[in-house]
Structure 1
Amino acid sequence: MTRPMIPNDSSRRPAEAAPQRLGELAVLPVFLGLKGRRGVLAGGSEAATWKAEVLAAAGADVDVYAAEPTEEMLALIARGAADGSLTLHTRGWTPADLAGAAVAVCDAETEAEAQAFHDAAREAGAPVNVIDKPAFCQFQFGSIVNRSPVVVGISTDGAAPIVGQAVRRRVETLLPPGLADWGKLAAKVRAKVMDRLEMGRPRRVFWERFADLAFGNTAPPEDVDALIETAGRERQAGRVTLVGAGPGDAELMTLQALRALQACDVILFDDLVADEVLELARREAKRICVGKRGGRVSCKQEDITALMIRLAKQGRSVVRLKSGDPMIFGRAGEEIAAVRAAGIEISVVPGVTAASAMASILGTSLTHRDHAQTVSFTTGHSRHGKLPEGLDVAAIVGEGRTAVVYMGGRTSQAFVDRAREAGVAGDTPAVAMWNVARADQRIWRGVLEGLPAAVQAADDDGPLLIAIGGVFGAEAADLADLPEPVRQAIAAG
């Protein structure tokens, strides 16, 4: 995604980002309606059996041509299909068999048979697939997640079917089994929604609520009239959602954050939000960069808040997308107060804060019971760019304590000086991490007194997180100190 240019004045104005461009597609994902149409399948192997079952499940009347069908194929024919029909012809196929076919599939034993079937299918005007022979395929089946009428198809363009299956397993965990019932209800009420709700926001509000209920593991209601009426009245003034994007890695976003990005009209995003996070947003959503970045030219907070309110008053659903967690050093309190004062609905979707991501990457518990009983999150600078005057460093750094300092690069020397003056040992373990959970992540490990020099030597203007405490210097547990069941499990190999 192309970021907007930064003006040379002392502050930035919110700038609309260029519309996201659709990247290259290896294949075009389409969904072919086969209800009541004829399908031809040549072959009786196990692989052909699966293809026959899929075609019939999609409603096709499948003619299977197999001189020597396997036991799997015979069993499928005997039990029948979930929809459509299956008819077995115990002979090989001929080009005449493809006449009138809406789709043609073959499990060819030789290249010559594959070529012949491909040519016959093309002559008959039927889309053709020759199993495991991509050169003779006009389409691929891919992996399927079935919540019909909600159907998800996954393709790797034939390059890595096992990867496609792994993706399918992940998607399966995200889609509740009851989604199928909600999908059937959606088909029934679609005409009523279009008749009773105006195009645009009222309809979207209805379908957003509908989707939230569908993913809430609740049974579909028998009557959706009340939901339609509510959607016609609600949110006419728009709404604002503060969303935590996490520290960088898009996989660390919550499902609730993803749904918010998929449902909004406008996204106001900070510089630190990763492009891969923005790629998950609804394509039609307008993206506006509001460029909040410590130590750099940034949009004024009052301009951002005013823009949020103006957009919401226009009836827009606005997402204020912040790096990490919006409630930790994200100035969320000011935005919430202003939006509420304007009479606009506002909600918050929490995100993974950088300290949590750092701890997981390092494999370090911030509150390891042998080394730290408290943990603190601290900002490294005040609104004037200096170490906050009232910050009691001695209270957060020292024996039994873990301190995590956000935005402390420019004040690291002042922080260490204040800690040393308070009697904190210079050899207290310390960590500095730039660009947490991103591809260009960097980690420094050392001790407190070496921290300022390490920050200066790094010459990295990426977001920096500093952490200090005994947990970062803890050695691996001695086997003799572990409980007996744990030692036995380790020794068992």
Structure 2
Amino acid sequence: MVHATAANDGAATTLHPARVEPLAVLPVFLRLNGKSALVAGGSDAAAWKAELLHAAGARVEVHAAILSEAMAALVAEGRAVRAGASWRDATLGAFAVAVADLDPPEAEAFAAAARRAGVAANVIDQPALCAFQFGSIVNRSPVVVGISTDGAAPVLGQAIRRRIETLLPRHLAAWGALAGRIRQRVAALRPSAAERRRFWETFAERAFTATGGPEEGAWPDARPGTEGGSVTLVGAGPGDPEYLTLKGMRALQSADVILFDDLVSPELLELARREAKRMLVGKRGGRESCRQEEINALMLRFARQGKRVVRLKAGDPSVFGRAGEEIAALEAAGIPVRVVPGITTASALAAGLNTSLTHRDAAQAVRFVTGHSRQGVLPDTIDWRSVADPATTTVFYMGGRTAPEIATRLLGAGMAPTTPVVIAANVSRANERRWSGPLAELADGMAAIGHDDPVLIGIGRVFAPRAVAAPVVPCPAYAAG
């Protein structure tokens, strides 16, 4: 779209690109604190509009012959005043806004009277008579988000509101209030527009990545150079990007640097902030990879530069993710660190199988066991008699290459050869595939699955409905999703 201007003397027309595409309505935010608002009609719909007007600080006058239970409650609570039986008894020009829920003939008369009085009016469910619309609201006051579909699709507007509700943390309200309190102080301490912009960008990112509202006394001076770096360990989940948590997504969208594992899916990285530096620091058995000391050094280096670092780990950071080593290194260096948990792969395996890892009749405990040690073999500290407990569901992580020995050890510890087993490769991804069968055939199942992809081995009676001997099968549910 272009905007055309022409001089009166017949000069050639000059075309300028439009800065704003056409708008169905103009989104504006109206201050009503201390002003009067008229509500004509006593229905539940009118009561909801009266409640919104009161929440915005308006003095609400209700003119209706009959009040619904909801409207009567508002009047009884003092959030509205019943001022008459008909809007015709009111002086419309005395109100900042007017709202009505009336039958068509009376509604048309109301809208016409409001226009003559110069008052913006809304007639519920009659868009042609409305001077303004309410739309859907996401309330994090002083942060308020309004959504309009120009009356064309109210249900779509509500669906959009629900999605925004999930993205905006509740504590955003406290950060918004703090911004209002310190705005003048920031302007005084940071005379440069560039400095103020950097400060408010950091402030906004902190508001989204914080686990709650600002701490008492936080951001007291707004001095330049006081924003230090930090590290967030984020669980990426098992592979499907939709398993990423909301907190994890917020951390990714505020990151300056992302250090990600080899098992993190490319689709998940697409959710990150576009400007963030991405560095692969993956560790895979039997392949060239970064040493843990190198990863620790990278996190420290970037954090000391004032960067917001996200260490993105497959699954959950606290389950075989070496989070303990990284947290210890960061805390020893005085770097702020926090952890955002993720869905561990065993949970995704159970969900994909429609299976519960515990069951009153089959398993009263769950055990996650690593399938290899620092040396790449089974740890010599595993209590195999305990692992072989038939009342426990056991899931081996990173046990692909040690699967034959796992079977031998469990059988030697007394576990029944017929115990159900499920092997899954690439859990929750489009190319997930599974093998199922008895413990005695675990080695054969692992050979069929292969060692090229990360696998999980589930052992226990809870897998019995899914562990009928079968060849390797793909998982169309994930492939289609």
Identify whether the pair has TM-score above 0.5, normalized to the shorter chain.
yes
Q: Does 1:378 align with 2:370?
A: yes
> Displacement of 1:266 after TM fit?
3.2
3-state SS of paired residue (2:369): strand
In the other structure, the counterpart of 1:195 is 188
- Contact 1:244–1:351 at 8 Å: present in 2 too? yes
- Contact 1:260–1:319 at 8 Å: present in 2 too? yes
- Contact 1:324–1:351 at 8 Å: present in 2 too? yes
Aligned counterparts of 1:77 and 1:372: Cα–Cα separation in 2 = 55
> Displacement of 1:405 after TM fit?
1.6
In the other structure, the counterpart of 2:13 is none
In the other structure, the counterpart of 1:482 is none
**Scaled by the length of structure 1, what TM-score is found?**
0.61
- Contact 1:206–1:231 at 8 Å: present in 2 too? no
In the other structure, the counterpart of 1:315 is 306
In the other structure, the counterpart of 1:51 is 49
- Contact 1:140–1:158 at 8 Å: present in 2 too? no
> Displacement of 1:47 after TM fit?
0.6
- Contact 1:267–1:285 at 8 Å: present in 2 too? no
Q: Does 1:325 align with 2:316?
A: yes
Q: Does 1:243 align with 2:241?
A: no
Aligned counterparts of 1:129 and 1:380: Cα–Cα separation in 2 = 68
- Contact 2:238–2:345 at 8 Å: present in 1 too? yes
Identify which range, 50-59 or 389-398, moves more after superposition. Answer: 389-398
Aligned counterparts of 1:38 and 1:280: Cα–Cα separation in 2 = 45
| Match of residue 365, structure 1, among 347, 352, 358 | 358
TM alignment of 1:24-173, pairs within 5 A = 32-35=29-32, 43-60=41-58, 68-71=65-68, 73=71, 76=74, 80-81=78-79, 90-91=86-87, 105-107=99-101, 109-110=103-104, 130-132=123-125, 139-142=133-136, 145=139, 148-151=141-144, 158-159=154-155
- Contact 2:238–2:315 at 8 Å: present in 1 too? yes
3-state SS of paired residue (2:437): strand
**Scaled by the length of structure 2, what TM-score is found?**
0.62
1:359-407 Cα shifts (integer Å, max 9, x gaps): 57622229x7975778342135877xx6558586956752455432223
- Contact 1:47–1:107 at 8 Å: present in 2 too? yes
Q: Which runs of 5+ in 1 are unaligned?
A: 1-25, 476-493
* 1:86 to 1:458, Cα distance in 2 relative to 1, 3 A: farther
* 1:381 to 1:389, Cα distance in 2 relative to 1, 3 A: closer
Aligned counterparts of 2:126 and 2:429: Cα–Cα separation in 1 = 39
Q: Does 1:288 align with 2:286?
A: no
* 1:170 to 1:154, Cα distance in 2 relative to 1, 3 A: farther
1:306-357 Cα shifts (integer Å, max 9, x gaps): 5434422321121112122223332446645665687644444444432355
User: Bigger radius of gyration, 1 or 2?
Assistant: 2
1:124-147 Cα shifts (integer Å, max 9, x gaps): 9988755346788774533655x6
* 1:407 to 1:201, Cα distance in 2 relative to 1, 3 A: farther
* 1:275 to 1:447, Cα distance in 2 relative to 1, 3 A: same
Q: Which runs of 5+ in 2 are unaligned?
A: 1-22, 467-481
1:447-486 Cα shifts (integer Å, max 9, x gaps): 22344555566689775321223454499xxxxxxxxxxx
Q: Does 1:449 align with 2:440?
A: yes
> Displacement of 1:427 after TM fit?
1.4
- Contact 1:240–1:308 at 8 Å: present in 2 too? yes
- Contact 1:403–1:468 at 8 Å: present in 2 too? yes
* 1:343 to 1:71, Cα distance in 2 relative to 1, 3 A: closer
Aligned counterparts of 1:381 and 1:123: Cα–Cα separation in 2 = 82
- Contact 1:271–1:290 at 8 Å: present in 2 too? yes
> Displacement of 1:263 after TM fit?
5.3
3-state SS of paired residue (2:312): strand
Instruction: Give the partner amino acid of 2:370.
Output: T
Instruction: Give the partner amino acid of 2:155.
Output: A
3-state SS of paired residue (1:199): helix
- Contact 1:372–1:471 at 8 Å: present in 2 too? no
Instruction: Give the partner amino acid of 1:290.
Output: L
Instruction: Give the partner amino acid of 2:276.
Output: K
Aligned counterparts of 2:108 and 2:433: Cα–Cα separation in 1 = 54
How many correspondences in the alignment? 430
* 1:389 to 1:364, Cα distance in 2 relative to 1, 3 A: closer
* 1:45 to 1:348, Cα distance in 2 relative to 1, 3 A: closer
1:8-65 Cα shifts (integer Å, max 9, x gaps): xxxxxxxxxxxxxxxxxx9999662332567665544221222133124313566767
> Displacement of 1:265 after TM fit?
3.4
1:125-184 Cα shifts (integer Å, max 9, x gaps): 988755346788774533655x64355668895227887898899899x747xx877754
- Contact 1:291–1:299 at 8 Å: present in 2 too? yes
- Contact 1:40–1:103 at 8 Å: present in 2 too? yes
Instruction: Give the partner amino acid of 1:308.
Output: M
Aligned counterparts of 2:199 and 2:396: Cα–Cα separation in 1 = 45
Aligned counterparts of 2:462 and 2:236: Cα–Cα separation in 1 = 27
